[in-house]
Amino acid sequence: MRKVLPFSFLFLCLAGLAFSAKTTCFEPMSKTRDAVLSFETTGPFIWHLDTPQAGDTVSGIVMVQGWILSEVGVSRIDFYVDDKYVSTANINLPRDDVIEHYPEFAGSASAAPGFTVGFLASDYPMGNHEIFLIVTDSEDHQETIGTRTVYVDPTLNPGLRSLSHLRMGHRRERDRPDRGPGGWNGH
């Protein structure tokens, strides 16, 4: 099932561009990028988080973007900041650059491996925050990927504070996954 970017998400992206040159909305990578893709593997997944990088200072609308491949397909990617659920990512976005390097996934459940999700820096106090994603494949296997610490500076785009009541992605309380006492993997 393909998810569509909600209107409020598009509005936030456009509003963020007016406030900061650092803020970018999802753009499929062009073929002019590096000929070699960097990647990581976790469980059955091959993935890469394009933005943000560990140690980055982020502000305004912070876009978390990357790609993930799975033989059985990805059904959901949930995004967390400081161990708290934030939103569910938009998945199944085209990434021709990835499929060009992994042609065995063309025509498969992972033929559109891109994902994007975002958060507002103004929702968090200044300082270091840990972000990560929990990926669920179509067979309900879950793995944590992309764990990194970023420095949030909400003062760089103070105009975005007035937009903090808007949320990106598909955040609905009934969809919020619960870790439960045993965690995701029973640990």
Q: What is the pLDDT of residue 38?
A: 82
34 falls within a domain: no
Q: What is the pLDDT of residue 159?
A: 57
Strands 45-51 and 40-42, sheet pairing: antiparallel
179 falls within a domain: no
Q: What is the pLDDT of residue 40?
A: 87
Ordered per-residue pLDDT tens for the chain, 187 residues? 334 444 344 334 433 433 333 333 333 433 334 445 788 888 899 999 999 999 999 999 999 999 999 999 999 999 999 999 999 999 999 999 999 999 999 999 999 999 999 999 999 999 999 999 999 999 999 999 999 999 999 988 765 554 444 444 544 444 555 554 444 444 4
Residue range(s) defining the domain that contains residue 152: 7-24+41-165
Q: What is the pLDDT of residue 21?
A: 32
1 falls within a domain: no
Total structural domains within the chain = 1
Q: What is the pLDDT of residue 42?
A: 83
- Which CATH number is 100's domain given? 2.60.40.10
Q: In this structure, are residues 48 and 38 in contact, taking their beta carbons and an 8 Å threshold?
A: yes
Helices and strands (H and E) in the chain: how many? 2, 10
30 falls within a domain: no
Which H or E run includes 132? strand 127-137
SS3 152: strand
184 falls within a domain: no
Nearest C-alpha neighbor of 118 from the set 173, 73, 71, 166? 166
Q: What is the pLDDT of residue 176?
A: 53
Q: Which two tokens stand for residue 129?
A: 């925050």
49 falls within a domain: yes
Rounded to two decimals, the pTM is 0.69
182 falls within a domain: no
Q: What is the pLDDT of residue 43?
A: 87
Nearest C-alpha neighbor of 45 from the set 87, 65, 74? 74
127 falls within a domain: yes
C-alpha–C-alpha distance, residues 7 and 87, integer Å: 15
Q: What is the DSSP letter of 178?
A: -
